[in-house]
Amino acid sequence: MFRRPGPFASSSYSRAGGKQRAAPATQGAAGPIVGPALLVMGWFACFPVILILALAMVALWLRHRVRVVTNDRPGHWLRARFGRGFGVGELARRLGVSAEELRAFEPEYRSATIPKRGGPYRSPGARTLRVPSRETKALQRRILERLLRKLRVHAAATGFERGRSIVDNALPHAQKCVVIKLDLVDFFQSTSAARVHSYFRRIGWSAEAATLLTRLCTDGGGLPQGAPTSPALANRVNFGFDVCLERMAKFRKGVYTRYADDITFSFPKDYPKRMRGIVQVVCRVARRHGYRVHKRTKLAIRRRHQQQLVTGLVVNDGVRLPRKMRRWLRAVEHRLATNGTCTLQETQLEGWRAYARMVARQAQRTCLWKVTQEPDDGPAR
């Protein structure tokens, strides 16, 4: 018998069959070089794309930082940084008083306690105000109308602004899968005088004018709750705060609004771990801006099967008053129609009627949701 040749036999013929066996192909000398060369060429081809993406990300980050630092007014910020800000003379001219009177003016306040605004289902409480004197209030109203009203405020800040109401704050969160509500502790007093001074410097006032405006608008190191300028200043000082929270919400495909100290987020989908992470991010951002978040009493995460309340309005299926309040108003109207008397005074009842009409009218004006008589607004609390 003939022995079968091995795979590396030198003979080109097989003794078993006599057929010609092809010799194994030998790898060319260029084989080990072609692979790495193609890889290097691919990296060089992708490098411009990677560089463009990196530069785009840097540009977006710089744009965000410029908006936060300059309050979206880089021209005024640069003028103030180089010592060409508006001085006390320009401030006196705009307010209609002399510079000497502004420098000599001393704001005066008194403390007052008022009950918190409540409804038929809200728990009573008290609120301490710092009420300015008549002269201080008159000067602060001039600052509000002649200086602050013309300055830009973030679109997410809906509280205490002309043309905006609680309905505008609640509408973006209607028909969402999950709603997160947070509240800031001592919002006005926690808005420090240092941040107010920094804001006046950013919008173009000189150091002396910014110091004078800060002294006229703050009390005890913060914004006094009760002064006409405090709500408008709080919205404008927190422009960067709103930019950070809105950016975080948009990154997660959500919506963010703020009504004074009430912060609201809503999202079309519910991811429990992500919701907890959002609360932690808000706490960090708030702490960086000098605020604290109520973590126990006023933190709420509401799903679709629960009653979702935003600034006192139900947003489960449109925007409307809570069911309990609607039934209470109907009961008052029925008692007034049958007996001729009710538990409310005529002015109080007219105020509640106007409030209900305002909510229905503004919700219908948007043409986003239809307001019905008895919609499903989730389980009552």
In order, the DSSP letters of 332-352 are: HHHHHHHHS--SS-HHHHHHH
Residues whose CB is less than 8 angstroms from the CB of residue 99 and which lie 6 or more positions away in sequence, other chains included: 88, 89, 91, 92
302 three-class SS = strand
109 three-class SS = strand
Confidence check: pLDDT of 381 > 50: no
CA 346 to CA 360: how far, in whole Å? 21
Q: 219: pLDDT confidence band, cut at 50, 70 and 90?
A: very high
How many Cβ atoms sit within 10 Å of the Cβ of residue 77?
19
Highest-scoring range by mean pLDDT, 59-73, 169-183, 357-371: 169-183
**By the 8 A CB rule, do 219 and 227 touch?**
yes
pLDDT at 172: 94
Exposure b/e, 192-212, CB count within 10 A at least 16 = b? bbebbbebbbbbbbbeebbbb
Question: What is the mean predicted confidence (pLDDT) over 198-220?
Answer: 93
Question: What is the mean predicted confidence (pLDDT) over 151-180?
Answer: 94
**% the chain with pLDDT above 70:** 79
Strand 313-314 to 109-115 pairing:
unpaired
Residue 228, classified by CB atoms within 10 Å of its CB into exposed (0-12), middle (13-18) or buried (19+), is buried
Higher pLDDT: 252 or 73? It is 252
pTM greater than 0.85: no
Confidence check: pLDDT of 73 > 70: no
Q: Indicate the DSSP class of residue 148.
A: I
